[in-house]
Structure 1
């Protein structure tokens, strides 16, 4: 009878059960397993009290851990799932949605230091739209990604300053505007928390023209009147901004004081924003002063240029350049994304289809050394791509075309030589994202395309240039194989598309030497010639590629690096001379860093100090002090495999440079405050100092001279190597020599061109 009672289970009867491991359960059962309401106590003191579903904790419950943390809410299948409140032992409280025991969905968290975040979460981190309020009163409302402020957002500091714009990894990065508590407004671009690039400073009380920048920030396209920010208190200002961000896209027309939200757009009402302190007795202090704004340019937080402009002139410029907005290009990266309906859309589809086909066809072939037949006229892959598809080609939505791939085995080996994975190559160029079209920086008329990840540049070629490349390809293959640090352009593919109309378009795929996480502030195309090698000042923008006569700096690099650099330039020039190539140039990219002696002299309109800026982040570098070596204003550390913060770009191959201060060891470049540790190679991530010409770097006796010296990171490469010194160029030389100095023109014979090129670069990179 007793045994019979032990084996009889009733779901309405509460029983106790002690487990061999010391755990204890009291509650309802279904057969031999817990089912219904019950309380489970682990041997370590943790307690679960709530619903069970056939031995699995599911439903409303309360969990108390040994540490003292308490959870009250929903549980599914043993995981915190649904909605619930977690009170941490450190005093933090989270009230919101859960998924797989992690914050996921909408939730409110109060931190131990009284900070509060309310918004979206994903896998335990802030992701999506949310509001963070610091204990000191600073607030941020906007987008988050992986627990950091990223995307569009508005931050208001405790002192009343306000920034509205783009963020990345917790720092201001991209276009935006910064309003100071005294009413001054700066509209421009930021890079990793510092002003970086062009912008406009509006004095307190100034009118601000409706620039496309505001359309980019708020997502509207309609025009809007000018705004006077000084009359708005900080609370009203941030409310106004948040209202616009939330409502301006699809809301019906609303009119409420200072906010006018229109279907498909939004605008700020000028009447509600005028300065309240103005009176009939005190109109405008000085009409000219109130109408004056300041066009500025910064490099890494340092003001390098300021030019006063009248407001009406600036407004006219804004309307004129509405479709050519520089700030919009900067935040989205270089180039215009090719969309459906774009003039290059079908050409892009054809190119992607062809590359996907030929790379997929050649990759399975076992890797082998190239043969002479791989360079010959039969080394081609030809294929027809009708839109309905064939036995060998897929159906597609582009127009019919013929495809030709030149020397596929040679370029396959070149990609292997430069460590370009075939799958990555196809995904970069032929993946789901569209290519971007760049404007041509030269007179060739070529069109440039950029892959979405910016690893590869695709350039259209003339028929004569294709012939030159095919002619020099055997020697080029030997040269880049023999000299891994060559600065010559890296070629990865040569293709031709023939449309049904008979039009032929030829492409070459190259590595992008400016693919870096650092911002390129200046670009120069240097040939060593002087005739016509300048850019009109009115045509100069931040993204303009400048020429020889525009270069006002010389660059000092470590002695051993300079020797290695010119040794390689000499070898590359000897190769180009042997192929009768002229008109090549050194493409020079410069990233400016603010030197330490300038960082303390930032003017009052720079960002708050890092210690006062909740958005700022430390570099997080853990570097052994014994392994740090100084190279002028930079920190170099002994290289550690796997420690570099970013993967090498498609332009990088070869050994790393060695620093004499580091005992002739390979080194990485550390940029304090950015968390970046970059691999230093010949022509890639090379630290140097830029000085104005005719200024001695060792001078420094005049305090003002220090403002003419900058720490820079250099990127170098020899480009445009497909022009022979042929009959056409000889005629050009004869004609221009009648009018100009024969040594100043670009078209000269190859040996003279190489000597002049080397001589010019030796002046650009003088010995210290």
Structure 2
């Protein structure tokens, strides 16, 4: 070791060298460390650990300039990769985390939020061909709400999932025409409305253009405090506000009847392929009136897996008798059927937090217990978990931001075993119900007056119960448990947990957690509630929309199954009905969901492909079909299991 004006140089036994300041034989202050493999670090040290500002270069050619802490890239810095990519932004423990901008070697770029090394949060991605996306990301893919603009002038504003258009949205073509509808995995799927350039929507086009375009959006989340203040100015905030004002327009356009307060009339109806959906065509014709003296047209369309199977022409400005009242009634119906993510300020926010805290506590404590067969005591009144959740926390519970409450979990070991029978992983269960994304609130689809919640992944439904309903469920639980254990293919509702929250003042809220049978890989185009009777079992054709659950007399299909499958299905229905009869339950029905396949001789209309990485859409030539050429696709009661069977 040599000393030069307080600066020392040391060669280590492994061949590494250090040149800089020392304190108690450890590098401390500014110094340069060169590893034997050629890596060079120049920057600050604190008692032998890298910290402060630094410049690092690797033999491969990669470099980093910025903050380091405790031996990690941590803080703000710029990394240049060996492929020529450049990332400038926040780091956490050697991983891109926070706000940052990355320029890729192929001239693509991303600016926005990162989490654990991938795009997550709000951000803008620009491709080298001129395409751009602004919106939310999750796990490196476009997610939830976002705006995609293609270089040819087309633009899509709406919902995304795994990098593909999925859910409700509005697609604007470069000529100014619009399509408002739903997509599934990048393809149009379900009902929608097309507005040509000369339709009534032309005035709305002007509204969206004046409210801000994709090019005007800046990559900032809804809460600007999450970003450095130096990156935010009034013009960007204003642009961001204006751009997201368009979202109110998109969801205003979510259903075609919301475009005008005047009713629509049918001019003509046509269909493509082997479309057997007579109820759809009947609903078109039975609600029709003959327009007079109005030439502007819009088109209501029905797609299946990207293939147009039906279309009707309507006059959006024709006023039919009592159309104002009819439209207002339809709007109320639509608004009630939609789910809404529970956020702070909503009436259910603190109740949701309490529910999540309780479920997390119960599942976290019951899962490590060795699995065993349940006995009679597990169904008794003493089989419960009770815990107080004070706001400041306790020896057994964490502090929280909700109101203090008492938690009660009924028959924990029984429901733990039931979840395992239904192949529900405990960690997945907690992530779905207790994740940071929260729950969604639904309006009651029935007449019970219950409140319904839905997990963000839509796998689980939570329903409030009256005290008498809870007692009935507890009474039938032993028989239900044995039935599920004996018949794994039961069609009876899956129950995963039974809970009670007691708030200060004594008010009690009881919940049951159930499986959502309509959470499947395929889009459910029609839903039916079948009771096996005809009295009052039909739906007003004028009130049918994509969210309507129809009844017995609305079902006009015949399902052909091979003999063994037919026998197995009806045997299971018989066994399930016998169980319900043994429990003295007579008010029940069979829920049926249908997914329509596109006609084989037709191909999806080609639009600009969603630029999702590692995800491909269905081929346009119909090759590699997801389903066999003939048959009925049956979706099991387990959302994660789909069985394809060959029909007759």
**If the length of structure 1 is used for normalisation, what is the TM-score?**
0.60
User: CA contact under 8 A between 1:106 and 1:121: conserved in structure 2?
Assistant: yes
RMSD between superposed Cα atoms in Å: 5.8
Shift of 1:535: 0.9
Q: Please, which moves more after superposition, 422-431 or 515-524?
A: 422-431
1:203 offset after TM fit, Å? Answer: 0.6
Report the CA distance shift for 1:46/1:635 in structure 2 as closer, same or farther (over 3 A): farther
Matched residue, 1:572 = 576
Structure 1 distance, partners of 2:601, 2:17, is 67
Compute the displacement of 1:536 (Å).
Answer: 0.8
SS in 1 for 2:204: coil
Q: What's the counterpart of residue 154 of structure 2? A: 161
Alignment of 1:57-72 (within 5 A): 57-72=50-65
Contact 2:341 2:438 in 1 (8 A): no
Residue aligning to 2:452: 449
1:149-168 CA-partner distances (Å, limit 9, x unpaired)? 22332221121111122323
In 2, the alpha carbon distance for the partners of 1:580 and 1:476 equals 13
Provide the residue aligned with 1:119 in structure 2.
112
1:686 aligns with 2:634: no
Kept in 2, the 8 Å contact 1:120–1:130? The answer is yes
Q: Does 1:530 align with 2:534?
A: yes
Partner of 1:658: none
**Aligned residue pairs, count:** 585
Report if aligned partners of 2:134, 2:219 keep a CA contact under 8 Å in 1. no
Alpha-carbon separation, structure 1, partners of 2:147 and 2:112: 14
Q: Report what 1:539 is aligned to.
A: 543
TM-score, structure 2 normalization: 0.69
Distance 1:337 1:83, change over 3 A: closer
Shift of 1:632: 3.4
Q: CA deviation at 1:243?
A: 11
Residue matched to 1:554? 558
SS at match of 1:227: helix
Correspondence list, 1:340-739, <5 A: 342=347, 414=418, 417-418=421-422, 438-442=442-446, 445=448, 447=450, 449-452=452-455, 454-458=458-462, 475-491=479-495, 509-516=513-520, 518-556=522-560, 560-576=564-580, 582-594=586-598, 597-598=601-602, 600=603, 602-603=604-605, 607-608=607-608, 610=609, 613-615=610-612, 617-618=614-615, 631-632=628-629, 652=638, 680=641, 685-687=642-644
Tell me, yes or no, if structure 1 residue 227 matches structure 2 residue 235: no
**Contact kept in structure 1, 2:64 and 2:79, CA below 8 Å:** yes
Distance 1:125 1:459, change over 3 A: closer
CA contact (8 A) 2:330 2:543 kept: no
**Is the deviation greater in 471-480 or in 548-557?**
471-480
CA change 1:460–1:135 in 2 (3 A) is closer
Residue by residue, what CA displacement relative to the aligned partner does 1:94-143 show, whole Å, maximum 9, x if unpaired? 33343333333443322121212233333322233332221111122223
Listed one character per residue, the Cα deviations across residues 486-521 of structure 1 (whole Å, up to 9, x for unaligned) are: 222334567899999999998765433233454433
In structure 2, relative to structure 1, the CA distance for the partners of 1:320 and 1:371 (3 Å cut) is same
Aligned to 2:278: none
Q: Gaps spanning 5+ residues in structure 1: where? A: 1-5, 210-225, 270-286, 622-627, 637-647, 653-677, 690-766
Provide the rounded CA distance (Å) in 2 between the counterparts of 1:247 and 1:406: 40
Structure showing greater radius of gyration is 1
**Compared CA separation, residues 582 and 632, structure 1 to 2 (3 A):** farther
Gaps of 5+ in 2: 226-231, 250-291, 619-624
- Compared with structure 1, are the counterparts of its residues 317 and 432 closer, same or farther at alpha carbon in structure 2 (3 Å cutoff)? farther
Q: Distance in 2 between matches of 1:268 and 1:449?
A: 25
How many Å separate the matches in 2 of 1:244 and 1:80?
Answer: 24
Offset of residue 380 of structure 1: 9.0
What is the SS of the residue equivalent to 2:299?
A: strand
Paired position in structure 1 for 2:91: 98
